[in-house]
Structure 1
Amino acid sequence: MPLELVTIPCLSDNYAFLIHDAKTGDTAVVDVPEAAPILAALAARGWSLSQILLTHHHADHIQGVEELRRQTGARVVGNAADAHRLPPLDLALDEGGEVTVGSETGRTLDVSGHTIGHIAFHFPQSELAFTGDSLMAMGCGRLFEGTAEMMWRSLSKLAALPGDTLICSGHEYTESNARFARSLEPANPELIFRSGSIAAARKDGRPTVPSQLADELATNPFLRANLPELKTAVDMADAGDAEVFAEIRRRKDKF
């Protein structure tokens, strides 16, 4: 049985995610922008939290960790290479490290670029990938610490996951990301359709996260920097993939 997923809005535009194994009762949360909404979601379902999984060190992903740990006793899991910037870790993982939730084991991927030491958690049986601020719905994180080449390698790792994988990213930026994507590919029919669905969801107050990887591959310009149509759209038909990605990122930063 796959893990149950609960998406929890936090702060103004962040998300945390609960994953729950119904057979064992084991529950984990990915990222803790604030503790109160997570505690409320746990209480509403009668779940007990056992683990806190962290993608990266930015405050809007970890600032509720100590309160949540104090109230639940959950152990904290994160990247060993980033331990000096994270709350104290009970389990420090390297790339390819394993974390078990109930009967399912997930693995970590180093997806540095937004920050150095950013990781994602992939649970293949449940077709879930928790990507924080690396791959996002219709976008990717700004390059605060890493290079464009580094981020392109990270996004390529995520792009290689099965298309049915749900990308559980950290923010509700999708509508503005979609407007930027359409500035590059205004005639992309899948992008036109998805943009309409996103606008309708936000009008109704519904999250646009998580999203399916197959949809990201069809519409997210940051995953499409290797494609001839995107290279042509940015007048870089003969450029390398990472170079095109860098140009798309520069344009988004100014959009």
Structure 2
Amino acid sequence: MEHRNVRLNSGYDMPIIGMGTYALSDKECYDSVSAFLKTGGRLIDTAYMYGNEASVGRAIRNSGVPRNEIFVITKIYPSQFRNAKAAIDEAIGKLDIGYIDMMLLHHPGSGDVAAYQVMEQAVQDGKIRSLGLSNWYVKELTEFLPQVDITPALVQNEIHPYYQENDVIPFIKEHGIAVQGWYPFGGRGHTAELLGDSTLVAIAKSHGVTSAQVVLRWNLQKGVVVIPGSSNPEHIRENQDIFGFSLTDKEMSRIRQLDRDEKHDWY
């Protein structure tokens, strides 16, 4: 928390608060990433399926921020697993930022181990620095990990107060793998309900912050890196401003009681 980074098992440091770009169109993505970088944000998450890798890269190149200060995550989709080398090269070309800090498999699928092994070679070739997985849980990890040489540095899953993964997170960490949460605010169609939850509203009021800031701080105190998405410059700034307060053990316990095991996406 003090350094606002986590040291990955790959040896690289990754910021513990970032920005997701899911569902952002070309201009929205460019403007949002640009605003994020101006506020001091340095971790950006994108993917082949988001269709905005080029926008992310353009915003980075035009930001004036040194490349080595920025950490970029992208993902290859199961439809690309059969030709993972071409997928990696396509991502590198679209981003056009020299190298990829981290590449994930977007979710399990046919040929995922073989695709990951191609990514392992890309690490040896200097194209990618760290590898990871998205939407892998205990069963999937138990089957997957013995089949690869490079232990994933990150597992990125849906995590929010209504879907907390309290059994999955410790399992991932026991393997020396960092955890990152997407949909921290519950996802589209669920955000208003989550952020309006009376428990979160009350905790936020006691600290003079917003419910969104409480949710992000809760994640960090659970040891979960967060990548909230937004196209609103004020919200982008607000999402970074979560280091001026901390939640008590009692408040963390109250939020834990909100868990409904309610997943909001199919992954």
Question: Shorter chain as normaliser: what TM range?
Answer: 0.3 to 0.5
The two structures have a TM-score, normalised by structure 1, of 0.41
The two structures have a TM-score, normalised by structure 2, of 0.40
Larger relative contact order (Cα-Cα within 8 Å, sequence gap ≥ 6):
2
Specify which structure has the higher proportion of strand: 1
Specify which structure has the higher proportion of helix: 2
